[in-house]
Structure 1
Amino acid sequence: MVRKKVFLVVIGAIAAILVGSLTHFKVIAQSPTDLDLAVYHAPIHYQDTDSTKYRGDYITRFDYDSDWRGTNNWDNLQFPLNAHAYYSVAETCTHWFITYSFFHPQDWTDIPFDQEHENDLEGQLAIVRKDGSTFGKLEGIVTVFHTDFYSYTPSGSPLLNGAENIDGTLTMSSYNGSLHPLTAQEAKGHGLKAWPYTGDFQGASNEDGIIYYPSKTTAEVPASANDRNVQYLLLDVFAPSGVWQHQLDEASLSSSSALTFASWGTFKGDSSGGCGDGTPTCSTNSANAPWGWDDSNDGSVYKGEMALDPAHLTDVYFDGLGTFDTTYIRNRFIQNLRDRGYNSANLPQGWPTQLNLNSLIGKLKNQCL
């Protein structure tokens, strides 16, 4: 009887300890995958098309023609143009920074004495605060419009004008359970802004254009130049044998030896296949990857920082940031360069002179305090 009583007392004490521990237990939400995060915040994308050569305005992937040669993409427009967009994610203790980029095989024109070039990649940066929810809260975007960047914020965002002015308010639309920003690209030259700030396509039935919707699984080909519902597949920039891998593999090669890149952040492109035929001229090696994007007049933000150091770009462009971390617990661009042995004394061929690689590497850290 005594043993049974002692046993019950012991069991009761253990139960009390467990119950007491549970009152202090905090459930931590599982972090989203980069793909889930990218899809959640990906834009619903309005692509203006021009009837002169509407296939030149379809978005696709760089290797849509089954190779990574930069100098035959203009030539191969007859290949299927399944819709894709690239994404990458960098992370600080306060924010996720997601780049999205849309590839076109041609930047073309039908205007006399204008210029065109092979390959075209323009896109945007999404600034997402880690607010305790699974996917965070979108605070603003910065878009690439040729050699200028434009900033937009959704209603209610705390972000204010910094060294650069905010250029407009984001329109948001619900799709697959989350709110997505609406973005737009011109026909022909494909400069990108928030919708409806560029192009002649706003979605009306009498306008030429395609509305692309983000997907984790599906890459559709538009049924026509006036398709209002086409899914684009999100591709991780860091995927094995992907676009970033090709940049790293060619980072020390000369332009003549490389297949995909002419120099750091710049794709190869030539005048074969009819680029520049007629009155336009054709420029070569004129399209940039996200780590080569540059605004021509944004002061202390240098070429490539939208991808390589998005926290610094955000810190310069905006005020009203609140608690804001400028160092990275994840930044594959910087980590991979460091791991390949690159530093300020051993730079990739064509690395921008104003961007200090050692300083970038110094912004990596292991954890949040």
Structure 2
Amino acid sequence: MLRPASSPLRRAVRAAVAGLGLLAAFGADAAALSAANAADRAALALRWAPVHYQDVDQTGSHALGGAADYLARYDFDGDLDARNNWDRAGQAAYPLAAHAYYSVVETATHWYITYLFFHPRDWTDSFFDTEHENDAEGVMFAIARDGSAYGTLKAAVTVAHTDFFSYVPAGSDWTGNAENVDGSLSFLTYLGAPHPVTAQEAKGHGLKAWPAYDIKGDGVVYYPSLTVAEVPSNPDDRDVKYKLIDIFETGGMWDQRNNPSLFAGYGSFAGDKSGGCGSGAIGCSVNAANAPWGWDDSNDGPGRGALATDPVGLTMNYFRIPEAVSGAYSYNPYR
């Protein structure tokens, strides 16, 4: 059963936010937390950020000895040119320090927190398969604002390529609606509170709730932080911190949405065939990775990007929700 964040988590959040020079009243009740406040968004994002299992494959030259499955920033190489990420991944000058991106959208009744996990390569070592530069998959958590400090996690929808998968905690009163619930969320105690556990496959990096995907042999286990971004010491490092980055920060991903060096179109990261993407009987797709406002399930009702931009509409389509759900966004820069 989920419970409000414990005092160790609150102390950790206060310390991290203070270190960033942000201000927020973390000791206040839930009504005082506002997604319009950057520090409150960071606190909510850290509270519900998943413990993240990343399967790693070291087979073939495109695997970079396993590093092609490490989490990274989209600007890990110090620039906003997404068309050189495949080329520079694995170069010693550009270590793949772990980061993940988040956005928080708010109504009077719920918070909706989206997390994006980025890899410079979606790769393969199988003939007649296809790979591409840049990869961005993720998850959205629906959090009921129930009067507790950080609310209660009610459901999750994950992104695995062009399919979404839905999950609820055991005993949840949210049930399937237009879509069936695909499974139960698992939790692991971290910083004194239960965090959901997610997992990504190697190579293509589809994301599901653990254990629908799991580490098979080598793999990295990532833990969230507001201040620390670590590079795995090896392809089987089971304790690596990933740093959370606000999608809505000044100059951040959302502000860069019209930058033609980073995005080839609305919600689509730029990517080309340079640097050896695709070889022999392996194909290489261009502009194939999507930001949250470009995520789309190929055969579900809600439109492209709705997982992040209209999570109220998407969750009401996916789930039967017994509590009151406000459809009015009090904070949603996507709209």
With structure 1 as the length reference, what TM-score do the two structures score? 0.78
Residue 224 (str. 1) matches residue 234 (str. 2): yes
Considering only aligned residues, what root-mean-square deviation do their CA atoms show, in Å? Answer: 1.2
1:28 CA drift (Å): 4.9
Cα displacement string for residues 285-335 of structure 1 (whole angstroms, at most 9, x for unaligned residues): 100000000001112x0000011101100010000342111220110111x
Q: What one-letter code is carried by the residue in structure 1 that aligns with 2:194?
A: L
Asked if structure 2 preserves the Cα contact closer than 8 Å seen for 1:123 and 1:144, the reply is yes
User: Structure 2 regions of 5+ residues with no counterpart?
Assistant: 1-27, 35-39
Q: With a CA cutoff of 8 Å and minimum separation of 6, indicate the structure with the bigger relative contact order.
A: 2
Q: CA deviation at 1:200?
A: 4.4
Letter in 2 for 1:181: P
| Residue 330 of structure 1: aligned partner | 331
Q: Which of 81, 87, 90 is the matching residue for 1:69?
A: 81
The answer to whether the aligner puts 1:262 opposite 2:264 as a matched pair is: yes
User: Which among 114, 127, 145 is matched to residue 130 of structure 1?
Assistant: 145
Candidates 35, 46, 51, aligned match of 1:44: 51
What is the alpha-carbon distance in structure 1 between the residues aligned to residue 48 and residue 186 of structure 2? Answer: 13
Contact 1:187–1:199 (CA<8 Å) still a contact in 2? no
Q: Distance in 2 between matches of 1:181 and 1:199?
A: 14
- CA deviation string 1:36-62 (max 9, x = no partner): 101100100000000122111000110
Q: Give the distance between the partners of 1:243 and 1:311, measured in 2 at CA.
A: 22
Moved beyond 2 Å, runs of 4+: 27-30
SS at match of 1:244: coil
- TM-score for the superposition, normalised by structure 2: 0.86
- Is residue 156 from structure 1 mapped to residue 171 from structure 2 by the alignment? yes
Secondary structure of the corresponding residue to residue 75 of structure 1: helix
Output aligned runs, 1:280-291, within 5 Å. Answer: 280-291=282-293
TM-aligned CA deviation for residue 178 of structure 1: 1.4
Partner of 2:196: 181
Separation of aligned partners in 1, 2:139 and 2:322: 19
Match for residue 20 of structure 2? none
* Distance in 2, Cα, partners of 1:192 & 1:286: 16
* Separation in 1, partners of 2:45, 2:271: 29
Q: Tell me how many residue pairs correspond in the alignment.
A: 294
Q: Which has the larger Rg?
A: 1
- SS of the equivalent of 1:246 reads coil
Say which is worse superposed, 102-111 or 320-329, in terms of deviation.
320-329
Identity percentage over the alignment? 53
Q: Do the aligned partners of 2:29 and 2:147 also contact (CA within 8 Å) in 1? A: no
Equivalent residues in 2 for 1:62-211, closer than 5 Å: 62-77=74-89, 78=91, 79-201=94-216, 207-211=217-221
**Which of these residues, 72, 75, 83, is aligned with residue 60 of structure 1?**
72
